[in-house]
Amino acid sequence: MSVETKPELREENELREENGLRAEDSSEEAIAKPPPMTRGFKFWTIIFALCVTGLLGALENTVVSTSMPTIVEDLGIGDNYIWITNAFFLTSAAVQPLFGQLANVFGRRWLTIFIVAIFTLGSGICGGATGANMLIIGRAVQGIGSGGINMIVDVIVSDLVPLRERGNFIAIVLTVYSIGSSMGPLVGGIFVQRTTWRWVFYINLPVGGFALVLLFLFLHTNYQSNTTFSQKIKRIDYIGNVLIMAATAAILCALTYGGSRFPWGSWRIVVPLVLGLVGLVIFMVFEQSKFCPEPVVPPRLFKNRTSLVVFINTYLFTVLLYWVLFFIPVYFQAILGSSPARAGVKMLPITLVAIPGAVIAVIVLSKFGKYKALHLAGFIILTLGMGLFAYLDRYSSDAEWVVFQIIAALGSGMILNTLLPAFQAPLAESDQAAATASWAFMRSFGNIWGVAIPASIFNNQFNKYAYRISDATVREKLSNGHAYQHASNTFINNLSDRVKSEVIGVFSDSLKLVWEVSIAFCGLACILVLLEKELPLRKELETEYGMTEKDVIQTKQGDTPDAEYDPGNESHSQDNKRDL
């Protein structure tokens, strides 16, 4: 007896067959539905552990934004201050594709524990730093851990939950992540004022230790064990990983020094930038060649239009997110004269709106399975918010900067948790780790540009207007890429009234173009959303890396589900073992 497939499901089936999915697995009418299921104690313990783990990376992404001027001054970092942020973002982005491949090769459990341990170690190095080099090395180690955390958390959630429900659980983790990211500036400011900047990093030691205990006790996953260790390491795409890491590093170096230490036309900027971009092209060509049997970023992930568009918009959204997180504090501290802690408080509208907005967005996504409208509305609202930031100056009222942040946060919240499910929608479950790692890499790659692009614009504009500062010593101190590190109320308030007014005016006018350029990024994202296709989100889960069924999911009757409905059914075969 044949079952007629709906036109929209037929279209979805054809697309998924291209990516290794069976058509009959996609049709909701052609398959038997599993019995209703509830999640048990260990499932929720894992979700809690992932939330704690995600909180680590979230705090460190933004906590230094308000504490950086103090750190730079205390350690005498000078021109190299930008590497406090960029070393973190560089390693964070570069290792994510590798970690995604390692998660497939060696399983999730021990890789996750290793990642959290590395992050905690990096935090200790940063907290105990006695100089610039030690701090930058510590931040690089932290970045390795943070990049792994950002990727592995999403991978494990994808292992646990069907795509249609995935947004709900990613929302739980990302809500905590968003709280950490948004509270980072406030926490950093409080530590700087009340204790020492070193606690910006030391705070991760007890949190990291707690996360390690939870992961060790409760994170048990299935994994492929029918190959030897030597066979597993041969699966790693060494050439691809080296290419993408080297290209990322070259691009970051160019972005770091372009327009600040060296002119954009200097060979010191052009050469690494060109090498980095060419390196990315070579990487993409190599990944599709016969010399790469198991690519770290499989080209099949981008065969469909929707995944490709969402991939690009993930980059644009992350650029815009960090655009705000790193330059709104400049407005509060340098122009309004707020202390680091007070600047963190003034950024609370972002937290208080973005998080509820994100939760509402994923509830809507889970209920209706429609992501395109959320993306379009989110980017339109974000465009409005970014444009309004350009009107902020020293005379703006509290109501203005509060409302403008609320608008931008509302748009961001609608986008934040809905990109990954849309990216995964056309892809096979077997590609989830590679897909999530690639998506996480693009998100981290956006972090780098989200700081570097506005910083370059800001520095160039400041140099353009610096002639208005009458004090030659102050003018020289702030010019040529040094304005950001001195964007603190401590520095500004020590100036004479006349020079103080001049400096604030230059800061204010320099920020205007920063926000105006961001509108172009928002507009491009809006146009790209129109190219997305609305694909149904899967309600069933098929994965060989899920939790042990008895540890995670029980039927409403309290019994272990039959193997027919076991999302980790492969674990019953001899080829899979529990990742102990």
How confident is the model over 124-152, as a mean pLDDT? 91
- Burial of 329-366, coded b for 16+ CB within 10 Å and e otherwise, reads bbbbbbbbbbbbbbbbebbebbbebbbebbbbbbebbb
Q: What is the pLDDT of residue 542?
A: 57
Kindly state whether residues 333 and 245 are assigned to the same domain.
no
pLDDT > 70? residue 167:
no
143: left (phi over 0), alpha (psi -120 to 50) or beta: alpha
Assess if residue 194 is contained within a domain. Answer: yes
pLDDT > 80? residue 386:
yes
Closest CA to 255 of 444, 464, 518, 449: 449
Assess if residue 121 is contained within a domain. Answer: yes
Residues in Cβ contact with 106 at an 8 Å cutoff, skipping those fewer than 6 apart: 223, 232
Mind listing the pLDDT tens digit for each residue in 287-312?
Answer: 998 888 888 888 888 888 999 999 99
For residue 563, what pLDDT band results from cuts at 50, 70 and 90? very low
Kindly state whether residues 211 and 248 are assigned to the same domain.
no
Does residue 262 sit in helix, strand or coil?
A: strand
Mind listing the pLDDT tens digit for each residue in 88-132?
Answer: 888 888 888 899 888 888 888 889 999 999 999 999 999 999 988
Closest CA to 217 of 551, 576, 558: 551
Assess if residue 429 is contained within a domain. Answer: yes
For tokens 């290792």, the residue is 95
Closest CA to 102 of 571, 423, 427, 434: 434
The β-bridge partners of 222 are 578
Percent of the chain with pLDDT over 70: 83
Assess if residue 6 is contained within a domain. Answer: no
Tokens matching residue 464: 């353009």
Q: How are the residues of the chain apportioned to helix, strand and coil, as percentages rounded to the nearest 5? A: 75, 5, 25
Per-residue 3-state assignment (H helix, E strand, C coil) for 155-210: HHHHHHCCHHHHHHHHHHHHHHHHHHHHHHHHHHHHHHHHCCCCHHHHCHHHHHHH
Closest CA to 114 of 42, 22, 208: 208
Kindly state whether residues 268 and 346 are assigned to the same domain.
no
- Using CA atoms, how far residue 500 sits from 287, 497, 516, 572, in Å, is 54, 5, 25, 71
The β-bridge partners of 262 are 258
Assess if residue 305 is contained within a domain. Answer: yes
Question: CA–CA separation, 135 vs 156, rounded Å?
Answer: 31
Mind listing the pLDDT tens digit for each residue in 489-511?
Answer: 888 888 898 999 999 999 999 99
Percent of the chain with pLDDT over 90: 29
Kindly state whether residues 252 and 395 are assigned to the same domain.
no
Kindly state whether residues 308 and 455 are assigned to the same domain.
yes
Kindly state whether residues 374 and 444 are assigned to the same domain.
yes
Kindly state whether residues 150 and 290 are assigned to the same domain.
no
Does residue 259 sit in helix, strand or coil?
A: coil
Tokens matching residue 537: 């989100």
End position of a domain, from candidates 295, 311, 326: 295
What is the CB-side half-sphere exposure of residue 100 using CA atoms within 13 A?
A: 33
Question: CA–CA separation, 571 vs 567, rounded Å?
Answer: 9
- Greatest alpha-carbon pair distance for the chain in Å reads 87
Query: How many distinct structural domains can be found in the chain?
Result: 2
pLDDT > 70? residue 556:
no
Does residue 80 sit in helix, strand or coil?
A: helix
How confident is the model over 265-275, as a mean pLDDT? 91
Assess if residue 481 is contained within a domain. Answer: yes
Assess if residue 513 is contained within a domain. Answer: yes
Kindly state whether residues 276 and 349 are assigned to the same domain.
no
Mind listing the pLDDT tens digit for each residue in 180-229?
Answer: 776 777 788 788 888 888 988 998 899 899 989 988 988 887 666 677 78
How confident is the model over 411-416, as a mean pLDDT? 89
Residue 364 CA, chain-centre distance (Å), reads 22
DSSP state of 535: P
Average pLDDT, the chain: 80
Please, what sign has the CA dihedral across residues 258, 441, 178, 141?
negative
How confident is the model over 425-435, as a mean pLDDT? 80
End position of a domain, from candidates 250, 278, 295: 295
Kindly state whether residues 432 and 521 are assigned to the same domain.
yes
Which of 171-175, 417-421, 444-448, 514-518 tops mean pLDDT?
A: 514-518
| Total number of residues shown for the chain | 580
> In terms of C-beta density within 10 A (0-12 exposed, 13-18 middle, 19 or more buried), how is residue 257 classed?
buried
For residue 541, what pLDDT band results from cuts at 50, 70 and 90? low
Assess if residue 335 is contained within a domain. Answer: yes
End position of a domain, from candidates 267, 295, 323: 295
Q: What is the pLDDT of residue 1?
A: 42
Question: CA–CA separation, 181 vs 203, rounded Å?
Answer: 15
Q: What is the pLDDT of residue 179?
A: 75
Q: What is the pLDDT of residue 107?
A: 84
How confident is the model over 323-350, as a mean pLDDT? 87
> Higher pLDDT residue, 5 or 230?
230
Kindly state whether residues 300 and 289 are assigned to the same domain.
no
Kindly state whether residues 277 and 287 are assigned to the same domain.
yes
Question: CA–CA separation, 150 vs 134, rounded Å?
Answer: 24
Kindly state whether residues 319 and 273 are assigned to the same domain.
no
For residue 487, what pLDDT band results from cuts at 50, 70 and 90? confident
Torsion of CA 44, 566, 535, 168, to 10 degrees: -10
Q: What is the pLDDT of residue 115?
A: 94
Question: CA–CA separation, 311 vs 237, rounded Å?
Answer: 21
Does residue 466 sit in helix, strand or coil?
A: helix
Which strand (E) or helix (H) includes residue 222? strand 221-224
Cβ-based neighbour number of residue 19 at 10 Å: 18
DSSP string for residues in 315-329 = HHHHHHHHHHHHHHH
Q: What is the pLDDT of residue 518?
A: 95
Question: CA–CA separation, 112 vs 64, rounded Å?
Answer: 25
* Residue-range definition of the domain harbouring residue 480: 37-236+296-529
For residue 539, what pLDDT band results from cuts at 50, 70 and 90? low
Question: CA–CA separation, 268 vs 121, rounded Å?
Answer: 33
Q: What is the pLDDT of residue 90?
A: 85
Least confident stretch, 210-224, 310-324, 425-439, 560-574: 560-574
Q: Looking at residue 62, which CATH number applies to its domain?
A: 1.20.1250.20
For residue 6, what pLDDT band results from cuts at 50, 70 and 90? very low
> Higher pLDDT residue, 263 or 47?
47
Q: What is the pLDDT of residue 538?
A: 64
170 and 460 in contact (C-beta within 8 Å)?
A: no
| pTM of the predicted protein model | 0.76
For residue 521, what pLDDT band results from cuts at 50, 70 and 90? very high
Question: CA–CA separation, 154 vs 160, rounded Å?
Answer: 10
DSSP string for residues in 39-79 = E-HHHHHHHHHHHHHHHHHHHHHHTHHHHHHHHHHHHT-GG
Question: CA–CA separation, 434 vs 577, rounded Å?
Answer: 21
pLDDT > 90? residue 382:
yes
> Higher pLDDT residue, 68 or 239?
239
